[in-house]
């Protein structure tokens, strides 16, 4: 196979390699009282958070499907979908966003009947500014610590797995890829295109897995650790953009190359946190794919993204 060119082709869109400041934490405030929504928004804005609002649980649920949040602050008694019903939807969808319920009528009996509906905190109305800001800081700090601990647990589990494999007798060993630290997931509904990308990357020493759409890609991401995703956008069941939204909502820091003939530019303008690290415009050559992959995996030792990390 020919060596990749030193300079990327014009079809490869690669952003600058400087590390920008991390994005602000995103909070969704849900309350049917406009004055409460305004007050919470102003307080959170003053502390540097990015805030969206919704007037009831139904509107909030739509927002949660479209955008990832670090915290949900919700009232309980609201039209259409109440706060406790919204929490039940989160539980059913296995969404891990922490929830603070701010209400004058807490659903205590319902929470006792359903202990799986865990709230990060509760705050009774009326509340003071200090009470509100303190509980937000506390919950966000706890969520960050839990995420960090979970990552440490996954790292330790992977280390233990590697050690266990190293201790197996020689006849039980399997051939490792040339560069086992760089594992890539290719997501594309076109079988020939997907297989070509897998073959090109495997031939360059990467450990590569291919799946047929975003739903299969998201399932793989729940099971295995990857260093990079190469994904198409328009696919059945789940698009590349929808998979990336789930990735960001789950606060996974995995870098992404979107390889597509129709990049969703308007969606990226509307939701810039979903922008991929690199966009490859189809048709592109094998060398262009390899240059894009090498660019990302050589950044921060192959463990970082060219865009702000979602920690």
Instruction: Please give the order of strands across the beta sheet that includes 207-211.
Output: 12-13, 278-281, 256-260, 228-231, 183-187, 207-211
Render pLDDT for 185-231 as a digit per residue (tens, 0 to 9): 999 999 988 999 999 898 888 899 999 999 999 989 888 889 999 99
Q: What is the DSSP letter of 176?
A: P
Tokens of 6: 């030193």
pLDDT of residue 146: 42
Please measure the distance between the N-terminal and C-terminal CA atoms of the chain and give it in whole angstroms: 38
The CA distances from residue 198 to 30, 132, 184, 195, in Å, are 44, 50, 9, 5
Asked if residues 184 and 207 have their Cβ atoms less than 8 Å apart, the reply is yes
The CA distances from residue 241 to 93, 223, 257, 271, in Å, are 18, 20, 11, 11
pLDDT band at residue 236 using 50, 70 and 90 as cut-offs: confident
The CA distances from residue 290 to 189, 227, 257, 277, 302, in Å, are 20, 15, 11, 14, 14
Q: What is the DSSP letter of 286?
A: H
pLDDT of residue 95: 77
d(CA 12, CA 286): 12
Give pTM, 2 decimals: 0.47
Local structure of 85: helix, strand or coil: helix
**Interval 65-82 mean pLDDT:** 91
Cα angle 47, 51, 54 (rounded to 5 degrees) comes to 140
Render pLDDT for 249-268 as a digit per residue (tens, 0 to 9): 777 888 999 999 888 888 88
Local structure of 214: helix, strand or coil: helix
Domain with CATH 3.40.50.2300 in the chain: 26-146, 175-302
pLDDT band at residue 140 using 50, 70 and 90 as cut-offs: confident
Question: Domain 26-146: which topology?
Answer: Rossmann fold (3.40.50)
Q: In terms of CATH, what superfamily is 175-302?
A: Response regulator (3.40.50.2300)
**Rg of the Cα atoms in the chain:** 22
What percent of the chain stands above pLDDT 70? 76
Local structure of 49: helix, strand or coil: coil
Cα angle 61, 63, 66 (rounded to 5 degrees) comes to 115
Tokens of 121: 């905190």
Cis bond upstream, residue 68 (ω within 30): no
């Amino acid at each position: 196979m020919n060596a990749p060119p030193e300079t990327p082709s014009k079809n490869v869109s690669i952003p600058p390699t400087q590390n920008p400041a991390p994005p602000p934490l995103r909070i969704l405030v849900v309350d049917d009282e406009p004055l409460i929504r305004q007050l919470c928004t102003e307080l959170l804005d003053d502390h540097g958070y990015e805030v969206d609002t919704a007037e009831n649980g139904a509107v909030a649920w739509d927002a949660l499907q479209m955008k990832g949040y670090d915290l949900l602050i919700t009232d309980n008694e609201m039209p259409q979908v109440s706060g406790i019903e919204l929490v039940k939807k989160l539980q059913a969808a296995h969404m891990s966003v922490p929830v603070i319920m701010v209400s004058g009528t807490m659903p205590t009996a319902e929470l006792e009947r359903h202990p799986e509906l865990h709230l990060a905190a509760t705050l009774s109305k009326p509340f003071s500014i200090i009470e509100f800001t303190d509980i937000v800081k506390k919950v966000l700090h706890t969520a960050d610590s839990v995420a960090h601990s979970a990552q440490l647990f996954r790292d330790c589990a992977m280390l233990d797995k590697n050690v266990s494999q190293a201790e197996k007798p020689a006849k039980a060993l399997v051939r490792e890829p040339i560069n086992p630290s760089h594992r890539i997931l290719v997501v594309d509904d076109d079988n020939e295109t997907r297989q070509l990308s897998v073959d090109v990357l495997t031939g360059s020493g990467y450990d590569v897995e291919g799946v047929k759409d975003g739903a299969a890609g998201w399932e793989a991401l729940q099971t295995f650790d990857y260093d990079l995703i190469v994904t198409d956008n328009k696919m059945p069941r789940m698009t590349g953009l929808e998979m990336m939204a789930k990735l960001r909502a789950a606060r996974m820091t995995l870098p992404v190359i979107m390889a597509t003939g129709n990049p969703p530019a308007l969606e990226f303008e509307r939701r810039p946190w979903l922008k991929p690290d690199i966009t490859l415009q189809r048709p592109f050559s094998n060398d262009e794919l390899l240059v894009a992959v090498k660019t990302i995996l050589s950044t921060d030792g192959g463990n970082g993204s060219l865009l702000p990390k979602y920690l």
